[in-house]
Chains A and B, each alone.
Chain A
Amino acid sequence: MLGVYNPARARLKLLLTFGGLAVLAAAIWWGNANLSSYNLRILNLAGINAILAVSMNLIFGFTGLFSLGHAGFMAVGAYTCALLTLPVATKDSIFLLAPLAWPFSVITLPPIAAVVCAGATAGLMAYLTGFPVLRLRGDYLGIATLGFAEIIRVVANNIPSITNGALGLKGIPSFASNLWWTWGCVGITVFVISRLVNSVYGRSLLAVREDEVAAEIMGVNRTYHKTVAYVIGSFFAGVGGALMGSLVTTIDPKTFGFTLTFNILIIVVAGGLGSITGSVLTSVIYTVLLEALRPIEASWRIGPLRVPEIPGLRMVVFSLVLLVIILFYQRGLFGGREFSWDRVLDWIDRRRSRKQGVRA
């Protein structure tokens, strides 16, 4: 959106951005040093969910492609990264069903290279599958992409020489238990995707979402743009999957069922379709809420009465909370709005002028 260019405000915004990043960096540095490993794990998981949600928002929220394939791309990313980071000795000890195929059997890469490879493999997979299915529309696209994700999962179950079959991979190096890793990746994801959607290319993605036919007649190559969104979104799904594998250190095909996709979808919709801010914040709220509900499962003591422990109760309450949110915030918690310094500054200006108005 174009406005009147105001150099003073532009400088202020740049300053605020750097200030904000510095505060965030300090928070990460402090958190890494002082938080318990349990709390760190929750924050890391929140970060990973944010990566997944923002990437799904690019595909669904901004481009309008109802894709339910996220879990599949996460699986591809997670397996790729795990196979590339596991030490060769560990690999030898886990692959009992069948020996690990070359070249994975001999190489170990540093985490950064492995995560990039994970994203790239997921992106490539998206490119190959997107080519046929992206011409489907609406719910048909959703079910076909869900199908691809499930096929990936079933295949993972049946190629033991690469995935170790149903036994999965254990002892994955846990570099992602570091906030720099997870939230650093959140930063990169948000940077790339917000830059993309705010560029002229992004306008074309929105145009495709709003009216495919009209966009195409205005010269927008819809297949190209859909593929771009799908591949970039899946790249980051692969990155998210890689980090998740590293965080939980154990993966098997069951980890990547379509429930995982649904969870991300819920975050994206609850945060507001087309709002990156909403996706990130809702990821944090969602992850923290899920943990915060844990105490209700514990056994209670009300006077002489003892309520026994009820495992699973938090998920019941959680789904109820979810339903209430969906029923009462139909546009999502942040309703497609984005955070911007302009918005904050305008708000401060308004407050100030109102106060002065009262005084005068």
Chain B
Amino acid sequence: MTWAVFAQNIVNGISLGSLYALVAIGYTMVYGILRLINFAHSDVFMLGAYMLFYIDFMFRLPWWLTFVLAAVLTGVLGITIERVAYRPLRQAPRISSLISAIGISFFIQNLGLVVFGGRPKPFPVPQFFSQSYMVGSVYMANISWVVPVFSGLLMLGLTMLVYRTKVGLAMRAISHDMDTSSLMSVNVDGIIAITFGVGSALAAAGGIMWALKYPQINPLMGTVPGIKAFIAAVLGGIGSIPGAMIGGMLLGMLEIMLVALMPTLSGFRDAFAYLVLIVILLARPTGLLGREFREKV
């Protein structure tokens, strides 16, 4: 492999990894607080892309405004899902909310198939993103650096939110102990709603950037990146935000490198993610940065 190709792969790996990371954060935040694998997250990811598609189609606003609107609306949608499908089950056995999440996921996918249609739609990509040029001997489209830079900014913002604000403090408190937090007059319902809102908005951003990279959208487009992002979250130690970021980057990079270094194995690319996951879990049963739990006997 030449240096140029190698650099190209590094760029691709970072780009893919940062998208995984962005979506993984949504899984990990919800898991950290509710101990719930939010299987509907990958469908929220898909809805983000459709949201932008339809807003753009109907209003023809400036692109950045369309983007913000789509992310905000998807965030609101995430809050609604939590209110309708998860909050009533908070005291129920944990498996009930998981089934509810699967039910919501089925519902969104099927509704998507009915409303949006099963046929892929071409995603509107502003010219800026697809413009490309050579840097040295590496071929770069603007999208290749926009995705990691913008994801990085979003993650930075999220880190500030979680570790530097009162809302973030409340989130961390709830993820430690929900009951005690509510006794300490933390507004648990409100904070959980914010968590879902923020996580869903990030998923929307991820979905939109995914669609910018692969400009065909369909109602099932969330499944594969969604499950990969989830793997990334588990890899990093589910419940840990830095873990989700590291897991996402690691997974993206490894996937790209597998295909680059061993092209004959590219058919196994999707299996590879799981293999990495299983190997890491066997070495560290709670992921890279997961809180190790020692049961008190």
Contacts and interface: CB of A to CB of B under 8 A. Distances in A.
In-complex A–B contact (CB below 8 Å): yes
Interface of A: 132-133, 135-137, 139-140, 142-144, 146-148, 150-151, 154-155, 157-158, 213, 258, 262, 265-266, 269-270, 273, 310-313, 315-316, 318-320, 322-323, 326-327, 330-331
Nearest to B295: A213
B126 interface: no
A53 to B, nearest CB: 13
The main secondary structure of chain B at its interface with chain A is: helix
A158 B270 CA distance: 11
A78 B285 CA distance: 31
A320 B39 CA distance: 16
Contacts of A311: 114
B102 A262 contact: yes
B159 to A, nearest CB: 24
A322 B106 contact: yes
B285 A136 contact: yes
Nearest to B91: A330
A150 B110 contact: no
A140 B281 contact: yes
A151 B271 contact: yes
Bin the interface of chain B by size: 35 or more
Interface string B254-297: 00000000000001101100110110011001110000000101
A213 B297 contact: yes
Nearest to A324: B103
A155 B282 CA distance: 21
B196 interface: no
B230 interface: yes
A329 to B, nearest CB: 9
B285 A137 contact: yes
Contacts of A316: 107, 110-111, 114
Contacts of B103: 266, 319, 322-323, 326
A144 B277 contact: yes
Contacts of A319: 103-104, 106-107, 110
A154 B93 CA distance: 33
A139 B282 contact: no
A332 to B, nearest CB: 9
B102 A132 contact: no
A323 B97 CA distance: 10
Interface string B86-124: 001100110110011011101100110110001000000
